[in-house]
């Protein structure tokens, strides 16, 4: 039972974790002596609206605008991850299989391994900057438009409620 303003309203809250829609009405009789419905009418309306919202999300997912945003994301991230992962594994493999190469001095106490290790940090920051820039310039506006459209469609599927 939900309590609002300190009063017992007598209504079951559907977001109540103790409410079991499948068990309510199971084997019980309603006031007319007939078996009670498995779901109360209010619960059915709530589930119909939820299904309507789910249909909206599926419709948006199938839209050309959503597919374009996902495509832009993949076109940047997949090659970036491949290059970065190859660079990282190459560093680790070279460090373990060619210690003589990695120990070669470049300038004073600075050797190839130290420069490559610092290069790992540098490429991490560069990749992060490039990802944020790509997202800002190529995806964020379209994603915000999709989000707005989805919220509007979901609101209308729920009958105008927030």
The pLDDT of residue 60 is 83
pLDDT tens-digit series, residues 94-153 = 999 999 999 999 998 899 999 999 999 999 999 999 999 999 998 888 888 888 888 888
Tokens 């997912």 appear where? 61
- Which backbone phi and psi does 146 adopt, to 5 degrees? -65, -40
Q: Which residues contact 158 (CB under 8 A, 6 or more apart)?
A: 49, 52, 53
Collapsing DSSP to helix, strand or coil, 151 comes out as helix
DSSP per-residue letters across 46-79: HHHHHHHHHHHHHHHHHSHHHHHHHHHHHHHHHH
The pLDDT of residue 73 is 93
The pLDDT of residue 159 is 66
Average per-residue pLDDT in the chain? 78
Q: What is the spatial distance between Cα 162 and Cα 160, in angstroms, rounded to a whole number? A: 7
- pTM exceeds 0.85: no
Beta strands at 110-111 and 7-8: parallel, antiparallel or unpaired: unpaired
Q: What is the mean pLDDT of residues 17-34?
A: 57
**pLDDT at residue 69 is higher than 80:** yes
């Amino acid at each position: 039972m939900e309590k609002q303003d300190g009063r017992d309203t007598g209504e079951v809250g559907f977001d109540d974790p103790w409410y079991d829609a499948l068990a309510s009405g199971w084997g019980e009789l309603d006031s007319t002596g007939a078996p009670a419905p498995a779901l109360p009418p209010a619960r059915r309306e709530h589930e119909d609206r939820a299904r309507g919202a789910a249909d909206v999300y599926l419709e948006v997912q199938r839209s050309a605008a959503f597919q374009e945003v996902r495509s832009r994301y993949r076109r940047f991230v997949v090659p970036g991850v491949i290059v970065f992962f190859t660079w990282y594994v190459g560093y680790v493999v070279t460090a373990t299989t060619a210690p003589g190469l990695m120990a070669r001095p470049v300038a004073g106490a600075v050797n190839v391994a130290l420069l490559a290790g610092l290069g790992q940090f540098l490429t991490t920051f560069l990749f992060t900057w490039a990802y944020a820039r790509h997202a800002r310039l190529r995806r964020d506006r379209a994603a915000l438009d999709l989000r707005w459209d989805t919220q509007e469609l979901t609101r209308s599927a729920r009958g105008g409620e927030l």
